[in-house]
Amino acid sequence: METGDTQPGEAALAAHFDATIALMRQIEPRDWMPDGYRKTMIRQIAQHAHSEIIGMQPEGNWITRAPSLRRKAILLAKVQDEAGHGMYLYAAAETLGADRADLTALLIGGRQKYSSIFNYPTLSYADVGVIGWLVDGAAICNQVPLCRSSYGPYARAMVRICKEESFHQRQGYELLLTMMRGTAAQQAMVQESVDRFWWPSLMMFGPPDDQSPNTGQSMAWGIKRHTNDELRQRFVDMTVPQADKLGVTLPDERLRWNPERGHYDFGEVDWAEFKAVIGGNGPCNAERIARRRAAHEDGSWVREAAVAYAAKHGEAS
Ligand code: 3HC
Protein backbone atom coordinates (compact mmCIF):
# COMPACT_ATOMS: atom_id res chain seq x y z
CA MET A 1 0.00 0.00 0.00
CA GLU A 2 1.41 3.43 -0.97
CA THR A 3 2.02 5.57 2.10
CA GLY A 4 4.61 7.92 0.54
CA ASP A 5 8.14 8.77 1.74
CA THR A 6 7.50 9.06 5.46
CA GLN A 7 10.03 10.52 7.97
CA PRO A 8 11.00 8.29 10.94
CA GLY A 9 8.56 10.14 13.24
CA GLU A 10 5.84 9.59 10.71
CA ALA A 11 6.56 5.87 10.35
CA ALA A 12 4.42 5.10 13.38
CA LEU A 13 1.65 7.36 12.08
CA ALA A 14 1.80 5.68 8.67
CA ALA A 15 1.69 2.29 10.34
CA HIS A 16 -1.37 3.41 12.32
CA PHE A 17 -3.02 4.63 9.09
CA ASP A 18 -2.35 1.28 7.40
CA ALA A 19 -3.65 -0.64 10.42
CA THR A 20 -6.82 1.49 10.52
CA ILE A 21 -7.49 0.79 6.84
CA ALA A 22 -6.71 -2.91 7.25
CA LEU A 23 -9.21 -3.14 10.13
CA MET A 24 -11.82 -1.39 7.88
CA ARG A 25 -12.07 1.40 10.45
CA GLN A 26 -12.36 5.07 9.45
CA ILE A 27 -9.85 7.84 9.02
CA GLU A 28 -10.92 11.12 10.63
CA PRO A 29 -9.93 14.69 9.66
CA ARG A 30 -7.27 15.08 12.39
CA ASP A 31 -5.65 11.68 11.63
CA TRP A 32 -2.38 11.46 9.76
CA MET A 33 -2.96 10.36 6.17
CA PRO A 34 -0.72 9.97 3.09
CA ASP A 35 -0.80 13.02 0.81
CA GLY A 36 -2.08 10.77 -1.99
CA TYR A 37 -5.03 9.66 0.14
CA ARG A 38 -5.95 13.27 0.95
CA LYS A 39 -5.62 14.26 -2.73
CA THR A 40 -7.76 11.33 -3.91
CA MET A 41 -10.45 12.00 -1.32
CA ILE A 42 -10.62 15.70 -2.20
CA ARG A 43 -10.83 14.79 -5.90
CA GLN A 44 -13.60 12.20 -5.47
CA ILE A 45 -15.65 14.14 -2.90
CA ALA A 46 -15.40 17.40 -4.89
CA GLN A 47 -16.49 15.73 -8.12
CA HIS A 48 -19.33 14.04 -6.29
CA ALA A 49 -20.42 17.42 -4.91
CA HIS A 50 -20.13 19.03 -8.36
CA SER A 51 -22.30 16.20 -9.76
CA GLU A 52 -25.05 16.91 -7.24
CA ILE A 53 -25.09 20.63 -8.04
CA ILE A 54 -24.87 20.29 -11.83
CA GLY A 55 -27.44 17.47 -11.63
CA MET A 56 -30.03 20.04 -10.52
CA GLN A 57 -30.06 21.53 -14.03
CA PRO A 58 -31.48 18.72 -16.20
CA GLU A 59 -34.38 17.99 -13.84
CA GLY A 60 -34.86 21.64 -12.89
CA ASN A 61 -35.64 22.12 -16.57
CA TRP A 62 -39.04 20.44 -15.98
CA ILE A 63 -40.16 22.08 -12.70
CA THR A 64 -42.25 24.75 -14.45
CA ARG A 65 -43.73 22.15 -16.81
CA ALA A 66 -44.63 19.36 -14.37
CA PRO A 67 -48.10 18.02 -15.29
CA SER A 68 -49.64 18.51 -11.81
CA LEU A 69 -49.06 20.31 -8.52
CA ARG A 70 -48.19 16.94 -6.93
CA ARG A 71 -45.54 16.16 -9.57
CA LYS A 72 -44.17 19.71 -9.27
CA ALA A 73 -43.91 19.42 -5.48
CA ILE A 74 -42.12 16.05 -5.73
CA LEU A 75 -39.66 17.36 -8.34
CA LEU A 76 -39.00 20.54 -6.34
CA ALA A 77 -38.25 18.43 -3.26
CA LYS A 78 -35.88 16.21 -5.21
CA VAL A 79 -33.95 19.08 -6.79
CA GLN A 80 -33.66 20.78 -3.39
CA ASP A 81 -32.32 17.50 -1.96
CA GLU A 82 -29.58 17.49 -4.61
CA ALA A 83 -28.49 20.98 -3.54
CA GLY A 84 -28.28 19.71 0.03
CA HIS A 85 -26.22 16.72 -1.07
CA GLY A 86 -23.78 19.09 -2.72
CA MET A 87 -23.51 21.12 0.49
CA TYR A 88 -22.85 18.04 2.68
CA LEU A 89 -20.16 16.93 0.26
CA TYR A 90 -18.42 20.31 -0.06
CA ALA A 91 -18.42 20.38 3.75
CA ALA A 92 -16.81 16.91 3.78
CA ALA A 93 -14.16 18.13 1.32
CA GLU A 94 -13.44 21.12 3.59
CA THR A 95 -12.55 18.74 6.45
CA LEU A 96 -9.58 17.73 4.24
CA GLY A 97 -8.42 21.32 3.91
CA ALA A 98 -10.08 22.03 0.55
CA ASP A 99 -11.67 25.42 0.00
CA ARG A 100 -15.21 25.43 -1.44
CA ALA A 101 -14.54 28.53 -3.52
CA ASP A 102 -11.43 26.91 -5.01
CA LEU A 103 -13.40 23.76 -5.86
CA THR A 104 -16.11 25.82 -7.57
CA ALA A 105 -13.43 27.64 -9.57
CA LEU A 106 -11.93 24.30 -10.64
CA LEU A 107 -15.36 23.08 -11.78
CA ILE A 108 -16.20 26.28 -13.68
CA GLY A 109 -12.69 26.30 -15.16
CA GLY A 110 -13.18 22.76 -16.48
CA ARG A 111 -10.37 21.43 -14.30
CA GLN A 112 -12.53 19.17 -12.15
CA LYS A 113 -15.18 16.75 -13.38
CA TYR A 114 -18.79 16.00 -12.56
CA SER A 115 -20.79 12.94 -13.52
CA SER A 116 -21.04 12.36 -17.27
CA ILE A 117 -24.74 11.58 -17.00
CA PHE A 118 -25.66 15.23 -16.51
CA ASN A 119 -24.30 16.18 -19.91
CA TYR A 120 -27.32 14.62 -21.62
CA PRO A 121 -30.46 16.69 -22.32
CA THR A 122 -33.87 16.14 -20.72
CA LEU A 123 -36.09 16.21 -23.83
CA SER A 124 -39.40 14.94 -22.42
CA TYR A 125 -41.20 14.78 -19.09
CA ALA A 126 -40.59 11.00 -19.03
CA ASP A 127 -36.91 11.87 -18.51
CA VAL A 128 -37.80 13.05 -14.99
CA GLY A 129 -39.02 9.54 -14.17
CA VAL A 130 -36.17 7.79 -15.99
CA ILE A 131 -33.55 9.92 -14.22
CA GLY A 132 -35.13 8.99 -10.88
CA TRP A 133 -35.30 5.29 -11.78
CA LEU A 134 -32.01 4.79 -13.66
CA VAL A 135 -29.69 7.67 -12.68
CA ASP A 136 -30.61 7.79 -8.99
CA GLY A 137 -30.82 3.99 -9.05
CA ALA A 138 -27.23 3.84 -10.37
CA ALA A 139 -26.18 6.44 -7.81
CA ILE A 140 -27.63 4.29 -5.01
CA CYS A 141 -25.72 1.24 -6.31
CA ASN A 142 -22.53 3.30 -6.29
CA GLN A 143 -23.16 5.19 -3.05
CA VAL A 144 -24.41 2.54 -0.60
CA PRO A 145 -20.91 0.95 -0.45
CA LEU A 146 -19.50 4.47 0.05
CA CYS A 147 -21.35 4.51 3.42
CA ARG A 148 -18.48 2.18 4.43
CA SER A 149 -15.77 4.27 2.75
CA SER A 150 -12.64 4.66 4.85
CA TYR A 151 -12.92 8.46 5.19
CA GLY A 152 -15.32 9.14 8.09
CA PRO A 153 -16.95 12.45 7.07
CA TYR A 154 -17.58 11.13 3.52
CA ALA A 155 -19.07 7.84 4.74
CA ARG A 156 -21.35 9.66 7.19
CA ALA A 157 -22.54 12.11 4.52
CA MET A 158 -23.40 9.10 2.35
CA VAL A 159 -25.76 7.66 4.98
CA ARG A 160 -28.07 10.70 4.78
CA ILE A 161 -27.65 11.02 1.00
CA CYS A 162 -28.52 7.36 0.34
CA LYS A 163 -31.74 7.66 2.35
CA GLU A 164 -32.82 10.58 0.17
CA GLU A 165 -31.65 8.89 -3.06
CA SER A 166 -33.99 5.99 -2.22
CA PHE A 167 -36.91 8.46 -2.25
CA HIS A 168 -35.59 9.84 -5.56
CA GLN A 169 -35.47 6.39 -7.15
CA ARG A 170 -38.94 5.40 -5.87
CA GLN A 171 -40.63 8.59 -7.04
CA GLY A 172 -39.11 8.14 -10.51
CA TYR A 173 -40.22 4.52 -10.80
CA GLU A 174 -43.74 5.39 -9.57
CA LEU A 175 -43.95 8.19 -12.13
CA LEU A 176 -43.01 5.75 -14.92
CA LEU A 177 -45.47 3.10 -13.68
CA THR A 178 -48.20 5.75 -13.89
CA MET A 179 -47.20 6.73 -17.44
CA MET A 180 -46.99 3.08 -18.53
CA ARG A 181 -50.59 2.64 -17.38
CA GLY A 182 -51.51 5.68 -19.51
CA THR A 183 -51.92 6.26 -23.24
CA ALA A 184 -49.85 4.68 -26.00
CA ALA A 185 -48.20 8.08 -26.48
CA GLN A 186 -47.14 8.16 -22.81
CA GLN A 187 -45.79 4.61 -23.04
CA ALA A 188 -43.84 5.55 -26.17
CA MET A 189 -42.44 8.61 -24.37
CA VAL A 190 -41.14 6.41 -21.53
CA GLN A 191 -39.55 3.89 -23.91
CA GLU A 192 -37.85 6.66 -25.91
CA SER A 193 -36.43 8.12 -22.70
CA VAL A 194 -35.15 4.72 -21.53
CA ASP A 195 -33.47 4.26 -24.92
CA ARG A 196 -31.59 7.56 -24.41
CA PHE A 197 -30.58 7.10 -20.77
CA TRP A 198 -29.74 3.39 -20.45
CA TRP A 199 -26.17 3.38 -21.76
CA PRO A 200 -25.18 6.77 -20.22
CA SER A 201 -26.41 5.36 -16.87
CA LEU A 202 -23.94 2.46 -17.19
CA MET A 203 -21.16 5.01 -17.81
CA MET A 204 -21.84 6.56 -14.38
CA PHE A 205 -19.85 3.71 -12.78
CA GLY A 206 -16.65 4.82 -14.53
CA PRO A 207 -14.41 3.16 -17.10
CA PRO A 208 -13.80 -0.60 -17.11
CA ASP A 209 -11.58 -1.71 -14.25
CA ASP A 210 -8.66 -2.39 -16.59
CA GLN A 211 -8.86 1.23 -17.83
CA SER A 212 -9.34 2.85 -14.41
CA PRO A 213 -6.18 4.58 -13.15
CA ASN A 214 -7.64 5.14 -9.66
CA THR A 215 -9.60 2.01 -8.71
CA GLY A 216 -6.68 -0.16 -7.57
CA GLN A 217 -5.33 2.35 -5.07
CA SER A 218 -8.83 3.45 -4.01
CA MET A 219 -9.70 -0.18 -3.23
CA ALA A 220 -6.43 -0.60 -1.28
CA TRP A 221 -7.22 2.52 0.76
CA GLY A 222 -10.81 1.39 1.39
CA ILE A 223 -12.19 4.45 -0.42
CA LYS A 224 -13.98 2.14 -2.83
CA ARG A 225 -15.40 -1.12 -1.48
CA HIS A 226 -16.20 -2.49 -4.97
CA THR A 227 -14.73 -1.91 -8.41
CA ASN A 228 -16.45 0.00 -11.23
CA ASP A 229 -17.33 -3.19 -13.12
CA GLU A 230 -18.67 -4.95 -10.01
CA LEU A 231 -21.07 -2.09 -9.28
CA ARG A 232 -22.08 -1.76 -12.95
CA GLN A 233 -22.96 -5.47 -13.00
CA ARG A 234 -24.89 -5.10 -9.73
CA PHE A 235 -26.90 -2.25 -11.25
CA VAL A 236 -27.74 -4.23 -14.41
CA ASP A 237 -28.79 -7.28 -12.37
CA MET A 238 -31.02 -5.08 -10.18
CA THR A 239 -32.56 -3.07 -13.03
CA VAL A 240 -33.51 -5.71 -15.63
CA PRO A 241 -36.37 -7.19 -13.51
CA GLN A 242 -37.59 -3.65 -12.78
CA ALA A 243 -37.69 -2.92 -16.54
CA ASP A 244 -39.69 -6.12 -17.11
CA LYS A 245 -42.21 -5.06 -14.42
CA LEU A 246 -42.43 -1.61 -15.96
CA GLY A 247 -43.02 -3.08 -19.41
CA VAL A 248 -40.10 -1.34 -21.14
CA THR A 249 -37.26 -2.93 -23.08
CA LEU A 250 -33.63 -2.02 -22.39
CA PRO A 251 -31.77 -1.07 -25.61
CA ASP A 252 -29.21 -3.91 -25.54
CA GLU A 253 -29.66 -6.96 -27.83
CA ARG A 254 -26.96 -8.85 -25.91
CA LEU A 255 -28.75 -8.50 -22.56
CA ARG A 256 -29.61 -11.98 -21.28
CA TRP A 257 -29.43 -14.00 -18.08
CA ASN A 258 -26.32 -16.16 -17.83
CA PRO A 259 -27.02 -19.02 -15.39
CA GLU A 260 -23.36 -20.01 -15.25
CA ARG A 261 -22.36 -16.54 -14.09
CA GLY A 262 -25.51 -15.89 -12.08
CA HIS A 263 -25.61 -12.44 -13.70
CA TYR A 264 -26.98 -10.75 -16.80
CA ASP A 265 -24.59 -10.59 -19.74
CA PHE A 266 -24.78 -7.22 -21.47
CA GLY A 267 -23.30 -5.44 -24.47
CA GLU A 268 -20.24 -3.20 -24.68
CA VAL A 269 -20.54 0.38 -23.45
CA ASP A 270 -19.46 2.98 -26.02
CA TRP A 271 -16.27 4.06 -24.25
CA ALA A 272 -15.38 6.48 -27.03
CA GLU A 273 -18.61 8.35 -26.23
CA PHE A 274 -17.76 8.22 -22.52
CA LYS A 275 -14.29 9.69 -23.14
CA ALA A 276 -15.77 12.41 -25.35
CA VAL A 277 -18.36 13.36 -22.71
CA ILE A 278 -15.91 13.47 -19.78
CA GLY A 279 -13.50 15.35 -22.06
CA GLY A 280 -16.03 18.17 -22.32
CA ASN A 281 -17.63 17.20 -25.64
CA GLY A 282 -20.98 15.82 -24.54
CA PRO A 283 -24.35 17.19 -25.76
CA CYS A 284 -24.77 19.64 -22.84
CA ASN A 285 -21.31 20.22 -21.28
CA ALA A 286 -20.99 23.86 -22.42
CA GLU A 287 -24.57 24.68 -21.37
CA ARG A 288 -24.17 23.10 -17.92
CA ILE A 289 -20.94 24.97 -17.13
CA ALA A 290 -22.29 28.25 -18.54
CA ARG A 291 -25.34 27.96 -16.24
CA ARG A 292 -23.12 27.12 -13.25
CA ARG A 293 -20.81 30.07 -14.02
CA ALA A 294 -23.79 32.44 -14.39
CA ALA A 295 -25.31 31.26 -11.09
CA HIS A 296 -21.96 31.76 -9.35
CA GLU A 297 -21.57 35.26 -10.75
CA ASP A 298 -25.20 36.23 -10.06
CA GLY A 299 -24.76 35.05 -6.47
CA SER A 300 -21.52 36.97 -5.79
CA TRP A 301 -23.41 39.76 -4.00
CA VAL A 302 -24.70 37.24 -1.43
CA ARG A 303 -21.16 36.02 -0.69
CA GLU A 304 -19.85 39.60 -0.48
CA ALA A 305 -22.68 40.59 1.89
CA ALA A 306 -22.06 37.57 4.12
CA VAL A 307 -18.31 38.31 4.31
CA ALA A 308 -18.97 42.02 5.03
CA TYR A 309 -21.48 41.14 7.75
CA ALA A 310 -19.07 38.66 9.35
CA ALA A 311 -16.24 41.24 9.21
CA LYS A 312 -18.46 43.93 10.79
CA HIS A 313 -19.79 41.66 13.52
CA GLY A 314 -16.47 39.91 14.12
CA GLU A 315 -17.73 36.37 13.40
CA ALA A 316 -15.45 33.74 11.90
CA SER A 317 -15.81 34.01 8.13
N1 3HC B 1 -18.37 10.99 -15.09
C2 3HC B 1 -17.31 11.84 -15.07
N3 3HC B 1 -16.03 11.45 -14.82
C4 3HC B 1 -15.84 10.15 -14.56
C5 3HC B 1 -16.88 9.21 -14.54
C6 3HC B 1 -18.20 9.68 -14.82
N7 3HC B 1 -19.24 8.86 -14.85
N8 3HC B 1 -16.36 8.00 -14.24
C9 3HC B 1 -15.04 8.17 -14.09
N10 3HC B 1 -14.72 9.46 -14.30
C11 3HC B 1 -13.38 10.04 -14.28
C12 3HC B 1 -12.75 9.98 -12.90
O13 3HC B 1 -13.08 11.13 -12.14
C14 3HC B 1 -11.27 9.93 -13.28
O15 3HC B 1 -10.85 11.22 -13.68
P16 3HC B 1 -9.93 12.12 -12.71
O17 3HC B 1 -8.78 11.23 -12.27
O18 3HC B 1 -9.53 13.26 -13.56
O19 3HC B 1 -10.84 12.49 -11.57
C20 3HC B 1 -11.26 9.10 -14.57
O21 3HC B 1 -12.57 9.24 -15.13
C22 3HC B 1 -10.91 7.64 -14.35
O23 3HC B 1 -11.96 7.01 -13.66
P24 3HC B 1 -11.66 6.12 -12.35
O25 3HC B 1 -12.66 5.04 -12.32
O26 3HC B 1 -10.21 5.74 -12.32
O27 3HC B 1 -11.92 7.22 -11.22
P28 3HC B 1 -12.53 6.99 -9.77
O29 3HC B 1 -11.75 5.96 -9.03
O30 3HC B 1 -12.66 8.32 -9.17
O31 3HC B 1 -14.00 6.35 -10.02
C32 3HC B 1 -16.27 7.08 -9.77
C33 3HC B 1 -15.00 7.13 -10.64
C34 3HC B 1 -16.81 5.63 -9.77
C35 3HC B 1 -17.32 8.03 -10.34
C36 3HC B 1 -15.87 7.49 -8.35
O37 3HC B 1 -15.24 8.73 -8.40
C38 3HC B 1 -17.05 7.60 -7.39
O39 3HC B 1 -17.58 6.60 -6.93
N40 3HC B 1 -17.44 8.84 -7.07
C41 3HC B 1 -18.48 9.07 -6.05
C42 3HC B 1 -19.84 8.90 -6.62
C43 3HC B 1 -20.20 9.98 -7.61
O44 3HC B 1 -19.48 10.89 -7.86
N45 3HC B 1 -21.37 9.85 -8.16
C46 3HC B 1 -21.89 10.85 -9.07
C47 3HC B 1 -23.18 10.31 -9.62
S48 3HC B 1 -24.36 11.56 -9.78
C49 3HC B 1 -25.09 11.66 -8.26
O50 3HC B 1 -24.76 10.96 -7.34
C51 3HC B 1 -26.21 12.60 -8.10
C52 3HC B 1 -27.49 11.83 -7.81
O53 3HC B 1 -28.45 12.72 -7.41
C54 3HC B 1 -27.96 11.09 -9.02
DSSP letter for each residue of 82-149 = HHHHHHHHHHHHHTTT--HHHHHHHHHTTSS---GGGGS---STHHHHHIIIIIHHHHHHHHTGGGG-
The residue to mutate among 51, 131, 202, having the most atoms of ligand 1 within 8 angstroms of its beta carbon, is: 51
| Residues composing the chain | 317
The answer to whether the pTM exceeds 0.85 is yes
Nearest CA to ligand 1 atom 10: 206
Below-50 pLDDT ranges, the chain: 1-2
Closest ligand 1 atom to Cα of 135: 54
Residues 8, 311: Cα–Cα separation, whole Å: 43
Rounded to the nearest angstrom, the distance between the alpha carbon of 44 and the centre of ligand 1 is: 7
Residues in contact with ligand 1 by the CB-under-6-Å rule are: 43-44, 47-48, 51-52, 55, 82, 113, 115-116, 135-136, 139, 142, 203-207, 212-215, 218, 228, 278
Closest ligand 1 atom to Cα of 214: 26
Nearest CA to ligand 1 atom 51: 52
Closest ligand 1 atom to Cα of 40: 30
Nearest CA to ligand 1 atom 32: 206
- Cα distances (angstroms) measured from residue 197 to each of 124, 269, 284, 310, 316: 12, 12, 14, 45, 45
Those residues whose C-beta lies under 8 Å from the C-beta of residue 95, and which sit 6 or more positions away, are 29, 153
Residues 200, 119: Cα–Cα separation, whole Å: 9
pLDDT at 10: 86
pLDDT at 5: 55
Closest ligand 1 atom to Cα of 215: 29
The residue to mutate among 112, 116, 122, 142, having the most atoms of ligand 1 within 8 angstroms of its beta carbon, is: 142
pLDDT in tens, 270-313: 999 999 999 999 999 999 999 999 999 999 999 999 999 999 99
